[in-house]
A and B are shown apart, each in its own frame.
Chain A
Amino acid sequence: KQEVTQIPAALSVPEGENLVLNCSFTDSAIYNLQWFRQDPGKGLTSLLLIQSSQREQTSGRLNASLDKSSGRSTLYIAASQPGDSATYLCAVRPPGSQGNLIFGKGTKLSVKP
C-alpha cells in the first residue's frame, strides 16, 4: 500500500532563507507527484506537478525534484518570505488510479520577518 511521508511536520525559518521540504513515498510506481499549498482555513492550491518521466519542475521561486527510484521528492523554496507561511502537502498518484491522489500529512512552514 502506497504511503506518503513528509518530514519535518513543522519548520520555522527567518525571512530570506532558502529551504527544502521533503516528501517520501513507499512505492516508486507513480504516475505523477503534486505539491500543494494550504493556507489556514482554506482549500489547497496546486503549486507544481511532476510527471513520472520528469526529474524536476520550476515555478518562480519554487523548484520541485523527483527521484522515483529512491521514492523521494523535494520542494525547494528560494529566498523565503513571510507570505510563504502555510502548510505544504505532497501527493502521489498511484498507477491504475483514475486521478486519485494519496497525500502526506504536510509540513507546516513559518517564515519569520
Chain B
Amino acid sequence: NAGVTQTPKFRILKIGQSMTLQCTQDMNHNYMYWYRQDPGMGLKLIYYSVGAGITDKGEVPNGYNVSRSTTEDFPLRLELAAPSQTSVYFCASSYSSSGGAGDTQYFGPGTRLTVL
C-alpha cells in the first residue's frame, strides 16, 4: 500500500493564480481531511469528507474548495491565491470516526506552497 500520496511536493504561485493540490489514498478509508501547517503552529483543519460526495468546512475554509467524487481522491482547490495561503498542506485519511482505534489518521508527505 502506498498509503496517502500528495502531489506536487512543492509549488510557487503568483498572487491571483489558482491550483489544485492532489490527494489519493489506497486504504479504502471513508474519512479524509485537509490541514494546513504554518511555521511554529499546530495543524488547522481546512475541509473534511466523510465519504464520496460529502464534504464539509473545517476551521479555516476561506479561499479553498474541495470535492470528493471517489473514495480514493480528495483534491483541494485554491482560487485566487494570496500570500496568506503560503503554508504546508497535509492530506490525511482514517477508517472511521467511532472514537476507537479506527480513528487513527494517516498523513501524506505534504505540499509546500509559496505564494509570491
Size range of the interface on A? Answer: 20 to 34
Once the chains bind, are A4 and B42 in contact (CB under 8 Å)? yes
- In the complex, A66 has a CB within 8 A of chain B: no
- In the complex, B53 has a CB within 8 A of chain A: no
Size range of the interface on B? Answer: 20 to 34
Chain B residues near A99: list those with CB within 8 A: 31, 33, 48, 50, 94, 96-97, 103, 105
- In the complex, A58 has a CB within 8 A of chain B: no
Q: Considering the chains assembled together, what is the distance between the CA atoms of A105 and B44 in angstroms?
A: 10
Tell me the B residues contacting A by CB distance below 8 Å.
4, 31, 33, 35, 40-45, 48, 50, 56, 58, 90, 92, 94, 96-97, 99-101, 103-110
21 CB < 8 A contacts A-B: A31-B103, A41-B110, A43-B108, A43-B110, A45-B107, A46-B105, A49-B104, A51-B100, A51-B101, A52-B99, A91-B43, A98-B31, A98-B56, A98-B97, A99-B50, A99-B96, A99-B97, A100-B45, A100-B58, A101-B43, A105-B41
